[in-house]
Structure 1
Amino acid sequence: MHSSTHTKSQRDIIAGGIFLAIAATFGFISLGYEMGTPLRMGPGFIPLTLAIILAILGVVIIVSGIRKNETVETSPVSWTGSALVVASLVIFGVFARQLGLVPIVFLCTALTAFASRNNTLLSALTIAAAMSILCYLIFKIGLGITLPTFGPLFAL
């Protein structure tokens, strides 16, 4: 059942607020770790940098939502999609070390891709493969993170 309302973009304002809350949480937690320098990053550097970027994005989205005056079509919440996103976060946190970078990114990206009704099996697997390759290149080759490429579950 869809309804239509004429209002400021409450979705943008709420989304921006959620981004700010997540950014504040991760930013605060990252302050407990060594920062290092841009050339010799410590364990807190990337989380703090991402938290700052997320906070800036949150502020931009809130300001955009305040400035908008639009008609919004509302639809029911996709509980299946929400559950898939939450499940992928939990799986990443629990199994990242056991599976390794490439398999965990592939699995979690595929799950979150299925959260959208617009993705097919082929498109979800393609997105997952592309993200796995991209994360390998950025985090293993570029930044040299210590998470294994393939974890102990894949050892023979």
Structure 2
Amino acid sequence: MQIKSQKTFFSGIMFTCVGAAFALGASNYNVGSAARMGPGYFPLIVGVLLALLGLVVIATAFTGQAAGGDPVGKIAWKPLGLIIGANLLFGILLAGLRSIGLPAMGLILAIYALVIVASMAGANFSMKLSLVLATVLAIGSYLTFIVGLKLQFQVWPTFITG
């Protein structure tokens, strides 16, 4: 058998691996039954369904109509690093790193840092548009999580709030 679409094949591999990982992770929790579901029931079902979907996608890679084989392109390391780095930076700024003496900077600054760093991954970076997007996301997050859901976490850095 010949793979007719590499992109489809590797997408199916990714789905299958992520689904299997979720299903395995869910096995550490009490699964229960359909009538009395435990905390591992939903992740197990989602993981199994995702793995099955991945197998279907892999099968279509062998039967697809792509004559050239849709080769997988090279990995875009810079955007990948910026997106992952933006998420790590968000977590560090939101929670702080007490082991090195970095206090939590709060939700608002963490959102601005996330949006600006992640926006640099795109081909057309605009600081003005990034700041507009960050402002909209910060206001929306504040209204949703702090006002609406009444979650208790730091919104501003301690040097601003005292």
Residue 155 of structure 2: aligned partner:
149
- Please state if 1:13 is matched with 2:49: no
Residue 99 of structure 1: aligned partner:
105
Question: 1:85 Cα deviation (Å)?
Answer: 1.9
Q: CA distance change for structure 1 residues 151 and 14 in 2, over 3 Å: closer, same or farther?
A: farther
- Residues 100-126 of structure 1, C-alpha deviations (whole Å, 9 max, x = no match): 112112211221222222443333333
* Higher relative contact order, chain-length normalized (CA < 8 Å, sep 6+): 1
- Please state if 1:129 is matched with 2:135: yes
Counterpart contact for 1:100–1:148, Cα < 8 Å = yes
Instruction: State the TM-score, normalized to the length of structure 1.
Output: 0.59
Aligned pairs for 1:75-86 within 5 A: 75-86=73-84
Q: CA distance change for structure 1 residues 153 and 94 in 2, over 3 Å: closer, same or farther?
A: farther
Q: Distance in 2 between matches of 1:84 and 1:78?
A: 10
5+ residue gaps, structure 1 = 32-44
Kindly tell me the number of residue pairs found equivalent between the two proteins: 133
Q: CA distance change for structure 1 residues 140 and 15 in 2, over 3 Å: closer, same or farther?
A: farther
Question: 1:26 Cα deviation (Å)?
Answer: 8.6
Aligned pair partner of 2:119 in 101, 104, 113: 113
Q: Which amino acid is 1:75 matched to?
A: G
Q: Distance in 1 between matches of 2:120 and 2:13?
A: 24
> Matched residues, percent identical?
16
- Residues 47-95 of structure 1, C-alpha deviations (whole Å, 9 max, x = no match): xx9x79x859956973674446355353322211122122222222322
Structure 1 or 2: larger strand share? 1
Residue 54 of structure 2: aligned partner:
62
Q: Which amino acid is 1:62 matched to?
A: G
Q: Distance in 2 between matches of 1:128 and 1:94?
A: 17
Task: Give the number of the structure whose alpha-carbon radius of gyration is greater.
Answer: 2
Question: What SS does the aligned partner of 1:116 have?
Answer: coil
Q: Distance in 2 between matches of 1:21 and 1:86?
A: 23
